[in-house]
Structure 1
Amino acid sequence: MMRFIGRRRELELIRKELSLPRPSLIVAYGRRRVGKSRLLREAVDGTNEIYFQATRVSSTLNLEAFKAETARVLGSDPVIQSIESWEGILHYVANAAENGRKGLAVIIDEFPFVIDQDSSLPSVIQKFWDSGAPRKGSLKLILCGSAIAQMEELLAERNPLYGRKTMTLEVKQLPLRDAALFFPGYDSRQAIEAYGIFGGIPHYLQLCDPDKDIRQNVVDLLLTETGALVDEPTTLLQTELRDPGTYSSILAAIADGCTTSSEIAGRLRSDSSSLPPYIQRLSKLDLVNVNKSLDATEKERNRRYSLNDPLIAFWHHFVRSNLSAINSGFGERVYEDVIEPRLSEFMGPAFERICLDHARLYAQESVGSPAMEIGSIWGHAEFDIDVAGRTLGGSFFYGECKWQTKQIDLSVVEKLRLRSERTVYGAGKTGKNYLLFSRSGYRPEVNELAKTDTSIHLLELDDLARYPSREPALHP
């Protein structure tokens, strides 16, 4: 098994829950390929664990497969073969936890596959949990799934499991600093470009060869007819959604620069009133961001939509329209003639998303206090602000992102100051901070100003892609 990278905080949270001297009912969910199963198995460390991955078969066949895995872990027992219900096998593992297997962790992965065939299972688990059977052996029951809506439904007030879970965990994409660890030989710019293309999905990152440059990884995985990711966006939508064509068309429109409902509807030649359910579903899958300018009022309807999956954005920009050439064996030429000349242009918006994520996670490294909210400011005739936010300490900050070959000069700093004064976001507040994010560094006069003006914070690519003073644990 490949080494486990990142997820330090998630591991700590799960292990803390599992260490408690009481039973645990954990609900974990997240989109396909995000690394939920590996995270959970890393957290329990295989020492006292029954791991079962359900499949799209009948409940009876899943039950038989679960019984077989239970016998493999706990030892063959004729009693297991005689059990004919989920309630019976759950009581069996609870008894095992009570008698020598204290703290036994039972992971049921792709739990929605079982529910699809047996809708009574949540009620069965409720009855089992309320019986007190898990208590003496501190049984740890973990329900995991990629069908996000179904997993969230488990926690709804009308659901039998409402109020029983002891922990909920939504697993999202890896942040840049963790993703960069998949490419130990890359410099920070290369790591950021790789992240801008492949994103933070561990499965995609593990498919990349860290000994090859970005170009070759893109060609091998996305621009070859047999590439592992050449059909990934299509496969993802077909797996997760009904009517994948409509969802794909919406993603394509957003990738092409349509950021509002009216623009997307115009591209699809449909009524904008029909879009909200589709957008909401894509947002649930963490594929689309729905944003509002930080200085907009509650009543203003200025929502913007953006893609939250870099691979899907890259695929729609460069792969979708060139599939015929790729399937004819001209992937190398697609990279040379189409991607390479436009990669810097593509990375501009990607870099802004990376800077927003950095401020969300690590604002305290620059301004001394974590971000309480983070976003952008737009909708003004004369200016936008790429990054803006408020810290837990109550101060406001504003940021400018530049993915360009020239260094940032004083004019950029002054424009950011002026824009921060023209927005109502943070109006009248003192102690504002200014974050500059630059691909190519800063002019000497900007560096000199930052030495004396503590409100100005200059961030280089290393600041974004590398942990400052500690390396997160890399697990074999």
Structure 2
Amino acid sequence: MDFVGRERELALLKAEFDLSRPSLVIAYGRRRIGKSWLLKQAADGRPSIYFQATIASSAQNLETFKAVVALAIGQSKLLAGLGTWESVLHYLADAAEKQPGLVVTFDEFPYLLADDKSLPSVLQRFWDTGAAASGNLKLVLCGSAISQMEDLLAEKNPLYGRKTMSIDVKQLSLREAAEFFPDYSAEEIIETYAVFGGVPHYLAQCDPSKDLRGNIIDLLLTETGGLVNEPEFLMRSEFEKPQTYAAILAAIADGCDSTGTIADRIKGKTSDISPYVARLIRLDLITSEKSLDADEKGRNRRLLLNDQLLAFWYRFLPRYLGAINSGHGEKLFDSIIVHALPEFMGGAFEKICRDHARLHLEEQTGVPAAEVGSIWGHSDMDVDVAGTLLNGDAFFGEAKWRSRRVDMAMVEKLKQAPEKSGYGGTYGHHFLFFSKTGFKEEVQQFAGVDASVHLIDPELLVYGPDRRYRHNPRGPK
């Protein structure tokens, strides 16, 4: 698979590796997110050693690591005779004097900790000797167990204060994901992203020569599909009680957006499920948000799935797994899923538009966003996308994934949002309209004379203001 996206993260890592000093990098993120591929790409063209730990004893992992080191920089009797992690680290520091800037990556680092809790202390002792400085040795500790990796940065940990860089690897953005589908139109890319999200492992399994229907059937609605068992794999990989976590995710996918409503759905107590919810938030599988105009101490938060594949899977698959295993995936899509997709797309599109505001709002307003969220809880007004810019201006946006074009009634209603919500103060206001099918002529004319109104169509979302259609014969010309 070609390396896709991650330009910012890649530049940050390369800049760190270019520095004339030793590095201790902590990299973490959920499974399937592409951490290993990113780290390998950052080390490409440099002297490097990549080691992926396994669920084995510390002694077994050490011997495997020594074998990897020997393959990368050459075998020696001295290396073969070393019997501790600390001695091997000093060996690498010496090797870096001959190959300055040697990058050594320990992937799945938590597996090493499982059988050797003293390893952070060993690393601390090695680091504090200054041995890594002579050859500017670069050590990278990477893992999917986010809580354990974050613990390495905590004050109580021996490595506290010693890391030179930490990086939390997130999902790919819509524009990055678009590179997987060079022949898709902007609308098709948005729909595909709404189903498969920004996890590189999921996107890489899609066949860009097939349409969304074909990829959904092949990967999710066929008993041998590459992603049909993905939620089960993810739950069993991360959790000791996968059934409870799966039940919580299913409840959120079905519209339960608070711990109370989730507890009611799964027949449990709110206090009992709160720790599970907190863990899901830490793994970036769900998010907890509050309305931007709510009181700072208010408790009116809502929970949303942050993984679109999980959202789609739990929304459509559990009740039909029997049909899928009987070979009826195509009929399931054509008779049920295709009719429910527009509703599913509504919520997914709102999230995509909020992500656009976080990443690219400067394209419309000239100023990047400082805060992004939504406003809800009003009897006659919800705002899909809202927030403030770095200059203090506020913005309010509507996201519509439907066949009806935006008309002046929608514009006039959104224009009332600042006064009705009380959000945004007396600074300038911007009004954003995200639409699948475009805007009526009267709205386009109004936007031409009112600089506070911004119209954003699928092509602008996917390709930006220059609207580059790289290899995109099915998109607009």
* Alignment gaps of 5+ in structure 2: 472-477
**Aligned partner of 2:387: which letter?**
G
> Separation in 2 of the partners of 1:311 and 1:277?
23
Q: Is the 8 A contact 1:258 1:264 kept in 2?
A: yes
Mapping for residues 305-384 of structure 1, pairs under 5 Å: 305-384=303-382
Q: Is the 8 A contact 1:249 1:268 kept in 2?
A: yes
Deviation at 1:419, TM superposition (A): 2.0
RMSD between aligned residues: 1.4
Whether 1:39 aligns to 2:44 is no
The 1:293–1:149 alpha-carbon spacing in structure 2 relative to 1, beyond 3 Å, is: same
Match of 1:296 among 294, 297, 303: 294
> Separation in 2 of the partners of 1:192 and 1:132?
50
Mapping for residues 144-293 of structure 1, pairs under 5 Å: 144-293=142-291
Deviation at 1:470, TM superposition (A): 8.8
* Alignment gaps of 5+ in structure 1: none
Alignment partner of 1:376: what SS? strand
Q: Which residue of 2 aligns with 1:73?
A: 72
Q: Which residue of 2 aligns with 1:23?
A: 22
> Separation in 1 of the partners of 2:132 and 2:202?
38
TM-score (norm 1): 0.97
> Separation in 1 of the partners of 2:468 and 2:366?
21
Q: Which residue of 2 aligns with 1:117?
A: 115
Mapping for residues 53-132 of structure 1, pairs under 5 Å: 53-98=52-97, 100-132=98-130
> Separation in 2 of the partners of 1:47 and 1:167?
18
Deviation at 1:473, TM superposition (A): 12
Q: Which residue of 1 aligns with 2:404?
A: 406
1:366-397 deviation digits (Å, cap 9, x = unpaired): 11111111000111122111110101111100
1:176-215 deviation digits (Å, cap 9, x = unpaired): 0000110001001100010000000001110001011111
Alignment partner of 2:371: what SS? strand
Q: Which residue of 2 aligns with 1:51?
A: 50
Deviation at 1:430, TM superposition (A): 3.4
- Which deviates the most, 374-383 or 223-232? 374-383
Deviation at 1:357, TM superposition (A): 0.4
Deviation at 1:46, TM superposition (A): 4.6
Alignment partner of 2:433: what SS? strand
The 1:4–1:124 alpha-carbon spacing in structure 2 relative to 1, beyond 3 Å, is: same
Q: Is the 8 A contact 2:405 2:437 kept in 1?
A: yes
Q: Is the 8 A contact 2:463 2:469 kept in 1?
A: no
Deviation at 1:68, TM superposition (A): 0.3
Deviation at 1:47, TM superposition (A): 2.9
1:117-166 deviation digits (Å, cap 9, x = unpaired): 10000000000000101001000000000000000000000000000000
Q: Which residue of 1 aligns with 2:475?
A: none
Q: Which residue of 2 aligns with 1:442?
A: 439
> Separation in 2 of the partners of 1:470 and 1:13?
27
Over the matched positions of the two proteins, sequence identity in percent amounts to 54
Deviation at 1:469, TM superposition (A): 3.7
**Aligned partner of 1:245: which letter?**
Q
Alignment partner of 2:90: what SS? helix
> Separation in 1 of the partners of 2:433 and 2:244?
39
**Aligned partner of 1:44: which letter?**
A
> Separation in 1 of the partners of 2:317 and 2:248?
16
Q: Is the 8 A contact 2:194 2:345 kept in 1?
A: yes
Deviation at 1:363, TM superposition (A): 1.1
Q: Is the 8 A contact 2:459 2:467 kept in 1?
A: no
Match of 1:458 among 449, 455, 458: 455
> Separation in 2 of the partners of 1:386 and 1:431?
19
Q: Which residue of 1 aligns with 2:138?
A: 140
> Separation in 1 of the partners of 2:245 and 2:450?
48
Deviation at 1:465, TM superposition (A): 1.2
> Separation in 2 of the partners of 1:172 and 1:4?
15
Deviation at 1:406, TM superposition (A): 1.1
Q: Which residue of 2 aligns with 1:14?
A: 13
Q: Is the 8 A contact 1:5 1:473 kept in 2?
A: no
> Separation in 1 of the partners of 2:241 and 2:469?
41
Q: Which residue of 2 aligns with 1:387?
A: 385
1:306-342 deviation digits (Å, cap 9, x = unpaired): 0000000000111111100000011111111111111
Deviation at 1:299, TM superposition (A): 2.1
Alignment partner of 1:257: what SS? coil
**Aligned partner of 2:444: which letter?**
N
After the TM superposition, list the runs of 4 or more consecutive aligned residues in structure 1 that deviate by more than 4 angstroms. 470-474
> Separation in 1 of the partners of 2:378 and 2:273?
25
**Aligned partner of 2:258: which letter?**
T
Alignment partner of 2:317: what SS? helix
Deviation at 1:242, TM superposition (A): 1.3
> Separation in 2 of the partners of 1:234 and 1:402?
33
> Separation in 2 of the partners of 1:107 and 1:467?
35
Deviation at 1:471, TM superposition (A): 7.5
Deviation at 1:400, TM superposition (A): 0.4
Deviation at 1:265, TM superposition (A): 0.9
Alignment partner of 1:264: what SS? helix
Q: Is the 8 A contact 2:49 2:103 kept in 1?
A: yes
Alignment partner of 1:158: what SS? coil
TM-score (norm 2): 0.97
> Separation in 1 of the partners of 2:273 and 2:358?
29
Alignment partner of 2:24: what SS? strand
**Aligned partner of 1:88: which letter?**
S
> Separation in 1 of the partners of 2:410 and 2:83?
70
Alignment partner of 2:132: what SS? coil
> Separation in 2 of the partners of 1:47 and 1:195?
34
> Separation in 2 of the partners of 1:314 and 1:202?
17
